[in-house]
Chains A and B, each alone.
Chain A
Amino acid sequence: MTPIIPTANNPASATKLRFARRFLRSLSKMSKTRPSCPSSICVKKRSEGLKMAAYWCMARSVGSRRAWSRAILMKLSRGRQQHPHHHNFSMKRKIRRPTWLGKTKKKQKKKRNITCSSSSYDDEDEEEIMKRQTEKLREVVPGGKLMDICSLLEETAHFVTCLADQVHVMQTIAHRYS
């Protein structure tokens, strides 16, 4: 494998490097085990599995240091126990997918209704607005439901940095190998 990730010296990107390595390994594993079938369902599953693999690799790279990574690992391992196939991470039917891994249409509709009704901020108390927004944030960030606001914000900050790293790595890989 060509080293496509630039070697960085600052410790902030150590997670990035770890994620890159893990992700490449899992990618090669996935391409070996699964032949690319043209059917749409298979493709869907594969992209879903790839997405889960990306999140799992990121969570593993971060380790147990962060609440969100622990949440991801727990949820994915729970999913894996129910599905014995190790390469198929899609848990759509058996488990209600956590919202941060991808929302189903129903949930999106519900959210849209809620946001429409809350558009009149003038009448609302500021506390209500904050509560609603923190609720939304909790749904988006993994493991957010169990945390208070302070740690939620902290976790969000770390999660955002890790997500940005993840996206950057995936883009680089896609760019290199497309």
Chain B
Amino acid sequence: MQPCSREMQGINPLSNSSSQIPLSGHHQIQNSQMHHFDPSSSHDDFLDQMLSNLLSSSWLDLNPKPFWDDTPPPPSHAAAENVAFQYDDQASLASKFRNHQISSDGGNPSTKSSTTTAALMLQAQHQLLMSRGLAGAGDSGLLPMPLSLGGGGDVDRSRNDVVDGSSFKSPNPGGERSVQALYNGFAGSLHGGGQVPNQTQQFLHPQGQNLGGSSGVATTQTPASSTPAQPRQRVRARRGQATDPHSIAERLRREKIAERMKALQELVPNANKTDKASMLDEIIDYVKFLQLQVKVLSMSRLGGAAAVAPLVADMASEAGAVAAAVAGGDCVQATASGNQTPPSTSNDTIAMTEHQVAKLMEEDMGSAMQYLQGKGLCLMPISLATAISTATCHSRSHLVNNHNQKGPSSPSMSVLTVQSATAGNGAAESSVKEGVSVSKP
């Protein structure tokens, strides 16, 4: 269970040494937190959890969390929980900053680079540890980190700037808020360090008040701590957040899920749904749609008399259900383009196909249909074809056949109308009027 990454080593000495602190429930929370986190995730995931906890705070609004309704917890519990929360957050955030750039950094005008903020964090955490009177074990784990980042002289300046930059009164969407949430976390840790300049304290205090219930971000309020020697270093992490480590783990888990959902949202077209449930529906439909496409392609590639009518009927019904949900995404256009280009580039093959179909139709309708379906084509009444072509304004008058995508097709696809007046088509016309199989859009 012992994590092997550097960052975790930084945290572990924390947890070990914090157990020695005679603070009420700190060590318990710390250890139980560790116990909660370790089994539930891998090492990288732990850091992701911690970071995403603060960075993806925008997702928090989507979850109807009961803690919004709860009154703020009693200060001692909040303080205890917040301190523990602070430790892990900062360590993980520090490591995360060292590894990655914050993408939303540019959104904040007064933002420093991530390295300075990371340095700031580490400094703050270091100070916090010192103020806690922890043994050198915890410090040694963290000491190399600020040194590696350097810029010790920069820290004070950047600290103030960071504090200034964290002025947010109203919840900002997405990354900006998450970055500011981060800063606020730092600010909280700044309070924790006994050496925090007074101006930052005062600056942050009103901000903390403003943040009260506006977002799920770590707010800094006046913590009435159980240790009167350090009046303002506790951070009340979330308003109404229970001190229960279960809820912390639960929150982290939820944020991890939210992060994954966001990633999925970018993959799936029509990702404008904000609701998680509808997003999941969209994802499921998209996966089904892709699998259906694979099925369609595996059929159409066989060439010649490939698919049988019942198969096509199955697929049409499936496609109808699926394509209706995935309305006109990129995939549909991709398939459309995939099948449109052959007709546009080779009219000869189209004419040949026509003749072939006409010949087959004279013998047997079924084989003609099979031939067409093997090519990925279908028959359509001329009236309907003209109607569609004029509706979509994609008509190309010189092209000769109706080619419709089998399975997942959409009405927005361009249809090439029948306009040839060959004798073969005369036969086709008559048969077309009798029975037509059109793939459902």
- Chain A residues in contact with chain B, CB under 8 A? 27, 36, 38, 40, 43-44, 46-48, 50-51, 54-55, 100, 102, 105, 108, 121, 126, 129-130, 133-134, 136-137, 140-141, 149-150, 153-154, 156-157, 159-161, 163-164, 166-168, 170-175, 177-178
Binary flags per residue of B244-275, CB closer than 8 Å to A gives 1, else 0 = 00000000010011001101100110000000
Residues of A within 8 A of B311 (CB): 40, 44, 47
Residues of A within 8 A of B297 (CB): 54, 167, 170-171, 174
In the assembly, what is the distance between CA of A160 and CA of B284, in Å? 10
Chain A minimum-CB-distance residue to B263 = A157
Residues of B within 8 A of A121 (CB): 277
* B294 interface hit (Cβ, 8 Å): yes
Contact residue among B260, B280, B318, B376 (Cβ-Cβ distance under 8 Å from A133): B280
Chain B minimum-CB-distance residue to A155 = B260
Stretch at the interface among B160-168, B331-339, B417-425: B331-339
* B387 interface hit (Cβ, 8 Å): no
Residues of B within 8 A of A166 (CB): 290, 294
Chain A minimum-CB-distance residue to B340 = A175
- Which 9 pairs across A and B sit closest by C-beta, in order of nearness? A153-B260, A50-B298, A163-B290, A51-B298, A40-B308, A171-B338, A133-B280, A170-B297, A47-B299
Residues of A within 8 A of B294 (CB): 51, 54-55, 163, 166-167, 170
A161 lies within 8 A of B284 (CB): no
The secondary structure that dominates the B interface is: helix
Residues of A within 8 A of B263 (CB): 153-154, 157
Residues of A within 8 A of B45 (CB): 150
6 A-B contacts (beta carbon < 8 Å): A54-B297, A130-B280, A161-B267, A163-B287, A167-B297, A175-B339
Contact residue among A27, A134, A141 (Cβ-Cβ distance under 8 Å from B287): A141
In the assembly, what is the distance between CA of A164 and CA of B277, in Å? 23
With A43-B307, A166-B294: A174-B260 Cβ-Cβ less than 8 Å: no
The secondary structure that dominates the A interface is: helix
Residues of B within 8 A of A38 (CB): 304-305, 370
In the assembly, what is the distance between CA of A177 and CA of B375, in Å? 11
- In the assembled complex, the CB of B423 is this many whole angstroms from the nearest CB of chain A, namely 26
In the assembly, what is the distance between CA of A54 and CA of B302, in Å? 14
Chain A minimum-CB-distance residue to B339 = A175
Contact residue among B41, B277, B287, B302 (Cβ-Cβ distance under 8 Å from A126): B277
With A126-B64, A170-B298: A156-B264 Cβ-Cβ less than 8 Å: yes
In the assembly, what is the distance between CA of A130 and CA of B261, in Å? 13
With A133-B277, A171-B334: A153-B305 Cβ-Cβ less than 8 Å: no
Among A159, A170, A177, residue most surrounded by chain B Cβ atoms (within 10 Å): A170
In the assembly, what is the distance between CA of A88 and CA of B277, in Å? 39
In the assembly, what is the distance between CA of A140 and CA of B287, in Å? 7
Residues of B within 8 A of A149 (CB): 257
A150 lies within 8 A of B331 (CB): no
With A54-B298, A174-B301: A160-B264 Cβ-Cβ less than 8 Å: yes
